[in-house]
Structure 1
Amino acid sequence: MAVTLAEVAEQAGVSPATVSRVLNGGYPVAGGTRTRVERAIEELGYVANGPARALAAATSDLVGVLVHDVADSFFGILAGSLQNALCPEGGHLGSRRLAVVCNTEGEPAAEMAYLTLLEGQRAGGVVLTGGAVEEPAHTAALTARVARMAAAGVPVVLCGRPPLSVPAALPVATVMFDDHGGAFRLAEHLLSLGHRRIAYIAGPPGLSTTRERLAGHRAALHRQNPVLAGACEELTVHASFDRHAGYDATRELLRRGAPFTAVVAANDTVATGVAAALREEGIRIPEDVSVAGFDDLPFCVDTAPALTTVRVPLREAGALAAQLVTGRRLPPPGGITTLPTELMVRGSTAPPPPGSRS
């Protein structure tokens, strides 16, 4: 039989109202009293009635976290950091939140379906992570849904994607990465080494992350030499964000026969596929071809050679998103926070072979 709130109160020697204050948070309760109540809850195995609390408070303690692929380290790190930050160390029971990770596979229909479910569950907050699919119809539908949820008092955080055009008064915050600047600095690094034939394996078309990173890469090439930028267009291919895509795209570049001395991959996982395809052809890294990635996932320092990449502050972004969605931090004026990226130069990039500069 389920333990009741009254039984917890009796065990702790307090009133049921005091137990409710501890569970709900936001009410002053003496430290010793709070400790007794939390100990009684633990000893008795009391589980709060979530639906009842949700009806009373209009929202629940559930925070929905939408990711493209939970098996992808990018999203795993981001979601893990966010979940940890939802339950800050030393926080009382009433401050805890239940993170529910929803795997959309980057599909607009799945994104909307999960938002519908979260709205029906009276979610206490929603965090949408990863690049946005830039289709006008989907963007309009997503904007309308987010605005409706925010108007009902549900905080929404967009993390790693552009802001939506919602009224400024609504609780919608945006955490962006400087993908454009990171890609620009990475291309500048390769140009400074002497590379002029730089292949680029971009992410899927129609995705905000792909657009920003490719734009930064092209801007650096264009600033160096507009003719150079045009020449590198034929060395640009689009592929998905996985290892097999990097492998297949590199095989396609080699098949085309246009020479290149460096390959920039859409992300670090794609870069591992690039490296595998090059080695299969006996092409050395970086002696023959330099390889670079994006994100700075943990395995980058363990590849041979270690991978030059752009660090995206995933853990910092997850913690910030948690603070914003729970109201522990207010967004800046305008609601947009842009987190810097950092170029990480390692052993996978070097000057091109003698005689290859042109």
Structure 2
Amino acid sequence: MAVTLADVAARAGVSSATVSRVLNGNYPVAGSTRERVRRAVAELDYVVNGQARALAAASSDLVGVLVNDVADPFFGLIASALQREIAAGPGRLPGDGKLAVVCNTGGSPEAELTYLTLLERQRAAGVVLTGGAVEDRQHTAAVTARLARLAASGTRIVLCGRPPLPDAGAEITTIAFDNRGGARRLTEHLLSLGHRRIGCVAGPLERSTTRHRLEGHRAALAAYGLAPEVAAGEEFRDLPGRPVVHGGYDRSSGYDGALELLRKDPAVTAIVAANDTAALGVCAALRDRGLSVPGDVSVAGFDDLPFSVDAAPALTTVRIPLQEAGARAGRLVLGRSAPPPGAMATVATELMVRGSTAPPSGSAR
């Protein structure tokens, strides 16, 4: 027979109303009383009627986590940390958590909007949007409108690894990644080694992450007098000895991008990849062309995904603390942590120098 709210109340020695207040968390209850109720919930293995709670309250026990590509380790690390935090969190009872639903958009703006509409219908308790945003005014306006409706209905909204939305309001919390600073330090590292012909296999042209990393890359080049200053947001164009090609964040895009860079500038001595996965494709293309890494061409990635240190040679990259960021987003979306000042926090990145970069050999190819 199913355990009822009254059974929990009897075990804890309190009223059913007090049990309801503890479970909903929207009324102050003495610490000792709250602990008795939680102990009774655990002992009786009581499961809250989620549908009834959703009808009685403003939201359900569901938290939606939107990712661009669930197979990409970048999103997997964020989503797994989010899910662990949302399910319960350290030191909490299993009944304290909520259900995390990972929504794979496949990078489609239309799918992103569809998921937000479905989560609104489900009265989601929270929504976390991860990764770079599509830079399109119409899409941005549509996303902002949907998130505003969700926030107005009581849903907590967190952007993780995504730039803040203009005019979104203080109800939406942003955890941004320092992609510009990380990319600048990475290119400065290559320049300090003596590289001057640096190619770039960048990500999709319409993604905010791609633009921010290119801005950091070109800022480093400009500081060395190798590129003209370009206004923020202006498209990054090829320069002699510093070609750029765009692709995805996958291995095949890195492979094809490296071959295109070598066609544009056979004398390139270093390649910066969109991320670590693309960097592996770059290394494979160079090997297939009979070139060594870093003897002939240095290669650098971004994100510091778990396989990066085990690549041969180990990959120079920029570390983003993805799991820490995901866990923080989980606490924020559940209201377990106070929002940062101005509802905006920037996660610092760290340059990880490894064996895939070295001074240019100067050999002709």
TM-score by length of 1: 0.92
Distance 1:39 1:339, change over 3 A: closer
Name 2:311's counterpart in structure 1. Answer: 303
Instruction: Report matched runs for 1:135-214 at 5 Å.
Output: 135-166=136-167, 168=169, 170-214=170-214
Distance 1:227 1:348 in 2: 25
Secondary structure in structure 1 of the residue aligned to 2:260: helix
Distance 1:115 1:227, change over 3 A: closer
Q: Which runs of 5+ in 2 are unaligned?
A: 229-237
Secondary structure in structure 2 of the residue aligned to 1:334: helix
Shift of 1:93: 5.0
Instruction: Report matched runs for 1:10-21 at 5 Å.
Output: 10=10, 15-21=15-21
Conservation of the 8 A alpha-carbon contact between 1:127 and 1:156: yes
Name 1:242's counterpart in structure 2. Answer: 250
Distance 2:95 2:31 in 1: 11
- Per-residue CA deviations over 1:309-354 (Å, capped at 9, x if unaligned) read 0001211211221122122222233211011111000000000003
Name 1:230's counterpart in structure 2. Answer: 239
Distance 2:30 2:111 in 1: 41
Instruction: Report matched runs for 1:21-60 at 5 Å.
Output: 21-25=21-25, 27-28=29-30, 30=32, 33-42=36-45, 46-60=46-60
Identity, in percent, stands at: 61
Distance 1:32 1:77, change over 3 A: closer
Distance 1:106 1:355 in 2: 41
Distance 1:49 1:5, change over 3 A: same
How large is the Cα RMSD of the aligned pairs? 2.0
Shift of 1:18: 4.2
**Equivalent position amino acid for 1:310 in 2:** V
Q: Which runs of 5+ in 1 are unaligned?
A: none
Of stretches 123-132 and 77-86 in structure 1, the one that deviates more from structure 2 is 77-86
Distance 1:279 1:226 in 2: 28
Distance 1:84 1:166 in 2: 31
Name 1:316's counterpart in structure 2. Answer: 324
Which of 327, 339, 359 is equivalent to 1:331? 339
Secondary structure in structure 1 of the residue aligned to 2:341: coil
Distance 1:63 1:173, change over 3 A: same
Shift of 1:164: 1.1
Distance 1:63 1:227, change over 3 A: closer
Distance 1:327 1:32, change over 3 A: closer
Q: Do residues 89 (structure 1) and 90 (structure 2) align?
A: yes
Shift of 1:281: 1.6
Conservation of the 8 A alpha-carbon contact between 1:63 and 1:99: yes
Conservation of the 8 A alpha-carbon contact between 2:8 and 2:37: no
TM-score by length of 2: 0.90
Conservation of the 8 A alpha-carbon contact between 1:147 and 1:166: no
Q: How many residues align?
A: 351
- Per-residue CA deviations over 1:222-262 (Å, capped at 9, x if unaligned) read 110145983244x2100001011111111222344532011
- Per-residue CA deviations over 1:173-211 (Å, capped at 9, x if unaligned) read 111010000000000000000101111000000100000
Distance 1:61 1:328 in 2: 15
Distance 2:135 2:38 in 1: 49
